Structure 1
Amino acid sequence: MFAISSGALVGCNDDDDVNKKNSLSVTPASAIEFKAGDNQDVVLTVKTDAKSWAFEKNGEWIVAKQDGDKLTVNAQANTTESVRPGRITITAGNAEPVNINVNQKGLEVGEIVLSISPSDPIGFEATGNKAVELTVTTNAPDWTFSYPEEWMTAEKQGDKLTVNAKDNTGDARVGQIVVTSSEGEKTAKIAVSQKAGSENPTPGEEIAGSLSTADDLNIQFAHDAVEPVKKTLTFTLEKTAMVETKVKLVFDERHVEEYNFDHATEYVVFPEKLCTIANDGVMTIPAGETSAQIEVTLTPSASDLEYVTTYMVPLQAVAQTEGIVVKDEAEYVDFLVSRIGSKKIRNICYFEVNDCNPLNAIEYILEDGQPFFDAVVLFAGNINWDASKQKVYMNANPNVQALLDNSEELLQPLRKKGIKVLLDILGNHDQAGIAGLSDWGCEQFGKELAQICLDYKLDGIGFDDEYSRYYGSGKWFAGPSSQQAARLCYETKKAMKELCPWETWVHLYYLGYIQSSLPSVFIDGVEHKPSEFIDNVCADYGGSARPVNGMGLSGCAGNSIQLNYGYSISSSGAKALMNQGYGWIMWFAFDPSGTGTVSNNRSHSLRQFRNVAEGCYEQSVRDPKNVYNKISEGQYDPAPHPIN
């Protein structure tokens, strides 16, 4: 009896005691979907009260690495057309195991993939190293490689690359192994380093470092601010650290005032109490390595954040180890934070940019500080055929191109106020059209539009099927149909999601082949309903848009109001649309300046905006203080001008 009692008492203090059920959770716990190649790491966070945890993988192609409470998952390149199913099982003590399904798509037609295994950075000792064998997986006919030849050796044999480091009697060395496919220009890189011949650093030597982040610097909190936002920052040294190096991340409130003075901005300091820096801000770079990361959590609080205010989170890197200096130009990472609104029905405004400066949207604010406009559409870029290059491309007239080229001055102020900026695309009197591209053509043009969104920091693409002649032939073209219109929307959404690190939209203006009856798109036998790749829709002037398959009325504009034609809406009419469930009201050709080719419609427009605000938001729209002018073709004035 005594022995049994003693054993029970001891067991109560053991995390893995069979009488105590351990806890285990994994975030995110959803299935992981990989492409055939070019995949980003997926990082899982494991939480458990057991002493340790472990994982098993079902699928040799799955790459997984355990580090603390993190499990980093990726996939080797899939060189077949078959989908690869797999699974990762995570266990801890006697907790119920957690299974994460891992699936990888097969090759698409013409796709080239490439990967290296193992893919972890390679760290060599100063002397006496054993060769490391790497396996290169690709469907390209051949591959080449480069490496730091002055201090490494490398030999290729079949799909193997064997590398080693020459003995080192000098300073530490860093470099990269780069493998490149013979087709498709696919590359894979592995960082390599070697310790110094002497562990003693050169007296007086300084190593410079930089603070950076791969995350989007613009952060939007919901009006009720309930979900924390986590960001990862990286400090990187220009040379390998000889000793353990520490750098501290601090919240530097003074920096905001200095930044505003230098850049003529009006950012407000984000409340420091809402910013938590992990590990007391200390980043530790082990000897022989070049970088370390740290997590920052921004905890939202609606009462602390005002609408139409952009807050700056000023984070500074401060070296704490002798011989380490922070480069002046890479000393800070500044996140910009804004608060999005609570409106049940939102407003999307098409600006005729040949006549009007889209910055005018900034001036229209509700009494509680929310922007009246939630999205702006630049009307319009064109889909055109380049006969000399034999390709379809996005053609921008001088006005559209000026807005793109001067995005920081003319478009980003809108985004910083929480207003989405989309580029509309319509036909331009030749054979290229929204509904007439082949599947391959849809993929190529969709990728071009996504690249434009990335390059100019746009929030999406609108499609409008007008002014196309639809007579093209060849690999770019197909007979015009709603099916091909749907395919272009699908490929554009897919490309934007893959390329842009922020939320992007596909928006539709119902005309021609673009209607609510757009069909599903089938890829490898899998159905993709239009609601998966179309975010919101509007009808032609005066109409209510019907939803595409799978979409509710919340994605539809209940009315499309052409302000230059004198169209109007009453407070009761706007409220009725909101109560029916419509999520949008569309406005076309708003022009409060009159500096283009048409007279301004500011007074009439403001009355309609106030009708919507009173009917739907139980408040009014403030008097606009300024107007933004269009100077001439291809020229817009970024400066506000007071309204007399």
Structure 2
Amino acid sequence: MKYTNIFKLPCIAGVMMIFGCSLTSSCTEDEVMTGDINTNRYESSNELLGYLTDSQGKLMSSNIEFRSSGELSLFLNLTKEASSNCGISITYDESVLEEYNAKNSSSYELFPKTQVTLPENPTIKVETGKQQSSPLPVAFTSNGQLSADSKYVIPLRITVTSGNVKLAQGEDTRLIFITDRTGIPDCNKENGFKILSCMEVNDTNPLNNLSFTLKNSGKLLVDVLIMFSGNMKYDRETGHVTMKYNNNIQALLNGYDHYLKPLKDRGMKVIMGILPDHDGSGLCNLAPETCEEFALEIKAMCDAYNLDGVFLDEEYADYNDYDLYLNVPGFVRPTASACSRLVYEIHKLQPEKDIIVYAYSTIYSLPSINVDGRTINSGECITYAVHDYGRSGNLSSSYPGLPKTNMGMFSQEYTGRFFASESNLQRMVDDGYKTHMIFAMDPNRGNFTYQQLPSMQSIAKIVYNDELVFDGKKYPKDWD
């Protein structure tokens, strides 16, 4: 059954160009699982290659949020069974971060070495005949002095200590990106389930997400605000693909302290939607060099407005009306693999940020791609993938490497078109999925009492075994 999608934004002039200037997915101490290991990541070789993964199967870097204390497990993986015992050692090495910052024009700060605990003998070994080691724990504690708005890094140096294993390219270092949330309230619920509120902010105040809490835990119902939506725009005068914002998005960005910071102060993430704008450019027709350039634009946007990531929705590009790849340098024939490259470039520049993909149209599936001889799986770069309204189903084949918990089922559309039944919510929970999106929530709309509110009450009951509390506050649109 084809569902009509209403994700659409009017074309409103106003281009803002900002430029600023490696792989991970977020997890918290409440969500620890062992991800599938991708032994095809590297090209075939007769050599025995080794590489590290964390407890979610993520390579090269990890992203952790914690309160008071946390722990991350690391594993050594081999591309084939070990013919003899193999081992590596892990050390905290400040020069690793210095090299990363210099290479990527970034300015991440060190997570204090005194707050990091490695085992007395920080060695990971793979025994003969096996391909994966036992976990090595990296523990960390809060000193109460770090900013909750900043990312810090635990820089690790990896060295082979025994056996005939050789570290794969780029695997001699690892970065653990840390956010210390000790000093602020949070949204994280005990079971790790995430509610994404994709909000039509042309007429709805984001502050309405603060009005709904859970009675027993006191936590906010919503974990992530997605502002729908910024637009990508091909500037024909400059030849660049840029971000642009209509008057409503720009008002919220300009009024960050009033509209967005209160959400961030409660631990809610704020995400910018990215949507094509009927000009022939889209998420699926950027050449690799254009992906790199647009990723810089996205990084500059996130840095300028303290955003936690992006939401990618591939609609309204109108590729066939322009066929840019035929006559404009920097564009290719539209394919899902081109979006996979864009996702990789965004993630490479901002490994600590979230990338959410709307599993719809061409990007219902993002294939693995090869970059400099390495296989990059889309699920290792994105944080969440959410189904179109009312749809469900495991997305492992669509986004290889994405944890099941980060697949969004039975998305709801609160203007009155698609609401999830309690039986489907229960099925989602029973099947082990832990991500759910609601679109266009607005307590000022006429259907709030008889449709929106009962839906959120069902989410509280089924997903969190709790009772929804609505504090009665309805924030109107109060900007021009």
TM (norm. structure 2) is 0.63
Work out whether residues 392 and 476 of structure 1, in 8 Å CA contact, stay in contact via their aligned partners in 2. no
Report how far residue 397 of structure 1 moved: 0.5
CA distance in 1, matches of 2:427, 2:241: 43
Residue 369 of structure 1 is aligned with which of 218, 222, 234?
218
| Corresponding residue for residue 623 of structure 1 | 470
CA distance in 2, matches of 1:582, 1:533: 19
Q: What secondary structure sits across from 1:413 in the alignment?
A: helix
Q: What secondary structure sits across from 1:453 in the alignment?
A: helix
Work out whether residues 411 and 438 of structure 2, in 8 Å CA contact, stay in contact via their aligned partners in 1. yes
Residue 386 of structure 2 is aligned with which of 532, 538, 552?
538
Work out whether residues 185 and 267 of structure 2, in 8 Å CA contact, stay in contact via their aligned partners in 1. no
CA distance in 2, matches of 1:580, 1:398: 41
Give 1:118-137 correspondences, 5 Å limit. Answer: none
CA distance in 1, matches of 2:234, 2:443: 35
Q: What secondary structure sits across from 2:307 in the alignment?
A: coil
Q: What secondary structure sits across from 1:565 in the alignment?
A: coil
Equivalent pairs, count: 335
Compared CA separation, residues 513 and 342, structure 1 to 2 (3 A): same
| Corresponding residue for residue 136 of structure 1 | none
| Corresponding residue for residue 429 of structure 2 | 578
Letter in 2 for 1:384: K
**Cα deviation per residue 1:40-68 (whole Å; 9 max; x = unaligned)?**
787867999x9xxxxxxxxxxxxxxxxxx
| Corresponding residue for residue 489 of structure 1 | 343
Q: What secondary structure sits across from 1:531 in the alignment?
A: helix
CA distance in 2, matches of 1:589, 1:41: 37
| Corresponding residue for residue 385 of structure 1 | 234
Work out whether residues 31 and 102 of structure 1, in 8 Å CA contact, stay in contact via their aligned partners in 2. no
Give 1:194-233 correspondences, 5 Å limit. Answer: 219-221=180-182
Residue 604 of structure 1 is aligned with which of 422, 445, 451?
451
Work out whether residues 356 and 382 of structure 2, in 8 Å CA contact, stay in contact via their aligned partners in 1. yes
CA distance in 1, matches of 2:463, 2:203: 30
Q: Any unmatched runs of 5+ in structure 2?
A: 1-88, 121-156, 172-176
Letter in 2 for 1:617: Y
Q: What secondary structure sits across from 1:585 in the alignment?
A: strand
Residue 412 of structure 2 is aligned with which of 555, 561, 566?
561
Identify, as 1 or 2, the structure richer in strand.
Answer: 1
Letter in 2 for 1:457: N
| Corresponding residue for residue 140 of structure 2 | none
| Corresponding residue for residue 117 of structure 1 | none
Q: Any unmatched runs of 5+ in structure 1?
A: 1-24, 51-85, 91-95, 106-214, 222-310, 312-335, 498-502, 636-644
**Cα deviation per residue 1:201-222 (whole Å; 9 max; x = unaligned)?**
xxxxxxxxxxxxxx99x7425x
| Corresponding residue for residue 292 of structure 2 | 443
Compared CA separation, residues 47 and 600, structure 1 to 2 (3 A): closer
Residue 398 of structure 1 is aligned with which of 236, 247, 251?
247
Letter in 1 for 2:224: A
Letter in 2 for 1:554: T
Report how far residue 560 of structure 1 moved: 0.8
- 1:474 equivalent to 2:321? Answer no
CA distance in 2, matches of 1:425, 1:459: 13
**Cα deviation per residue 1:220-276 (whole Å; 9 max; x = unaligned)?**
25xxxxxxxxxxxxxxxxxxxxxxxxxxxxxxxxxxxxxxxxxxxxxxxxxxxxxxx
Work out whether residues 368 and 375 of structure 2, in 8 Å CA contact, stay in contact via their aligned partners in 1. yes
Compared CA separation, residues 511 and 430, structure 1 to 2 (3 A): same
Relative contact order, higher structure (CA 8 A, sep 6+) = 2
- 1:505 equivalent to 2:354? Answer yes
Work out whether residues 32 and 101 of structure 1, in 8 Å CA contact, stay in contact via their aligned partners in 2. no
Q: Percent identity?
A: 28
Q: What secondary structure sits across from 1:626 in the alignment?
A: coil
CA distance in 2, matches of 1:341, 1:359: 20
Larger C-alpha radius of gyration, 1 or 2? 1
Q: What secondary structure sits across from 1:383 in the alignment?
A: strand
Compared CA separation, residues 553 and 512, structure 1 to 2 (3 A): same
Letter in 2 for 1:354: N
Work out whether residues 188 and 223 of structure 2, in 8 Å CA contact, stay in contact via their aligned partners in 1. no
Letter in 2 for 1:544: S
Compared CA separation, residues 102 and 521, structure 1 to 2 (3 A): closer
CA RMSD of aligned residues (A): 3.6
Report how far residue 565 of structure 1 moved: 2.2
CA distance in 2, matches of 1:573, 1:539: 14
Q: What secondary structure sits across from 1:444 in the alignment?
A: helix
Work out whether residues 569 and 612 of structure 1, in 8 Å CA contact, stay in contact via their aligned partners in 2. no
Report how far residue 613 of structure 1 moved: 1.2
Letter in 1 for 2:250: Q
**Cα deviation per residue 1:544-572 (whole Å; 9 max; x = unaligned)?**
25421112321111111111124323334
TM (norm. structure 1) is 0.47
Letter in 2 for 1:612: I
